[in-house]
Structure 1
């Protein structure tokens, strides 16, 4: 007869509701953006991608705060990201400005999607070895914000897409290539969000919200575009001698300056002492 211990593995099965519910909300926002762009509602499509960014930022933090992290959640989050921040912005941009360019248009959109997929794969495989203070390459939500922000600005100010389709293609390709680059982007993970700050900091935060609220499309697009440009600037300023590995390819520990040495040694030690399955 079966005992209670026979049912214990089944009792541990299942998924955590809250973080995966937020991930699903982000996935829905990305899918809605695609559908809205097909119906020529480009402003709504762009806003939906930014809403997906909010859910993407919440699901991981909620999982850590509630101790509901899981391998399933991490995999689900990555697959949702490729839809919300890979396929969605590429198709929104294609439907808005790239479709008139023929082969160049869909190739530009594909470069963005492929760059986003490669960026996510590299991030997932290097998550325990890189310096967590910096991202290696432009993060896919930031790249999506630039592409979606450009569409939002164009729709908001009634810019004729045929007048800027070559600029749109160049911007889309640039974001795709930045995601697979080795440029260092500050992750802001070393900021102490729970620490005490001066009253002036709160006033600056309030002022920032006011500025964003005045012209959200233009301000958000400008912020993320400047962030994308900060990667090459940060990299060029921190390396003594610029090499190809600083820009693209497999960055080595001594010249890429992107691998956390202590974390890498710890990971290597644990892998060498781990027992085989």
Structure 2
């Protein structure tokens, strides 16, 4: 049980180090550290399940690390980079994002323990998940690194508004498809592997461009996820209604009443 918890602690150290680099003015390194912390935080749970080393202590540690890596670290890095130019409004936006991340994680833990929730709803997140929110809120950093805009008060105000929007998306009840139970047809396996390899190569060669396009694509994906959820909900409700109105067929076996 030690190794997954060590990865969790390492992710916290990496996330907090990202804040330090931001305060030192090394913003590109700070963003990379936050993204790496999010990656480590995402694999510790999977590592624990693979090693059959899950524990209540590890679950609590993971939740605390999530707040640091997905809420506090991105908010402070973005504030040091740009939001401070917006004055108090920038600080309020950073605080709202960190608080929204905490609320989002608390709701996720509650829903994860809800035994009455229909199984098909487990294929969707309620609101944008915290890791995606952390990558989402730092879009102003990515765009600045590729020279889309210059950091000034106007861009800081726009980034503050975007941070508030990201916070709202996390605490909203927008259904977001998780892809956990996505099944890939065998004939699409090799093209998918090639596409993933291409994405990794693009990320390592053009990280900020790739992240910017990825964030925009994710925002475009959200309305389609809502429509897919509504369609699936209609189908599931129709199935339940059909079961409810289907009369029971009497048995003709001996010894039973007709």
How would you bin the TM-score normalised by the shorter chain? 0.7 to 0.9
User: Where does 1:50-69 land on structure 2 (aligned, <5 Å)?
Assistant: 50-69=35-54
User: Where does 1:101-140 land on structure 2 (aligned, <5 Å)?
Assistant: 101-129=86-114, 130=117, 131-140=121-130
1:192 is displaced (CA, Å) by: 5.2
Q: Counterpart of 1:143?
A: 133
Runs of 4+ in 1 over 4 A off after TM superposition: none
1:201 is displaced (CA, Å) by: 2.5
1:63 is displaced (CA, Å) by: 0.5
1:232 is displaced (CA, Å) by: 3.4
Shift of the 210–24 alpha-carbon distance from structure 1 to 2, 3 Å rule, reads same
1:217 is displaced (CA, Å) by: 1.3
Shift of the 235–199 alpha-carbon distance from structure 1 to 2, 3 Å rule, reads closer
| 8 Å CA contact 1:149, 1:218 repeated in 2 | no
| 8 Å CA contact 1:46, 1:149 repeated in 2 | no
1:51 is displaced (CA, Å) by: 0.3
Coordinate RMSD, CA, aligned: 2.4
Is 1:189 paired with 2:205? no
Distance 2:189 2:98 in 1: 42
Distance 2:28 2:148 in 1: 10
Secondary structure, aligned partner of 1:198: helix
Q: Counterpart of 1:29?
A: 14
Q: Say how many residue pairs are matched.
A: 228
CA deviation profile, 1:71-95 (whole Å, cap 9, x unmatched): 1111111111111110111111111
Shift of the 206–30 alpha-carbon distance from structure 1 to 2, 3 Å rule, reads same
1:214 is displaced (CA, Å) by: 3.0
Q: Counterpart of 1:160?
A: 150
Q: Counterpart of 2:208?
A: 217
Aligned partner of 2:72 among 71, 87, 99: 87
Greater C-alpha Rg = 2
Distance 1:233 1:196 in 2: 25
Q: Counterpart of 2:61?
A: 76
Distance 2:140 2:209 in 1: 8
Distance 2:202 2:3 in 1: 32
Moved more, 145-154 or 64-73: 145-154
| 8 Å CA contact 1:43, 1:156 repeated in 2 | no
Secondary structure, aligned partner of 1:135: strand
The runs of 5 or more residues in structure 2 that have no matched partner are 241-258
Secondary structure, aligned partner of 2:176: strand
Moved more, 62-71 or 164-173: 164-173
TM-score (norm 2): 0.80
Secondary structure, aligned partner of 2:138: helix
Secondary structure, aligned partner of 1:185: strand
Secondary structure, aligned partner of 1:239: helix
Is 1:232 paired with 2:243? no
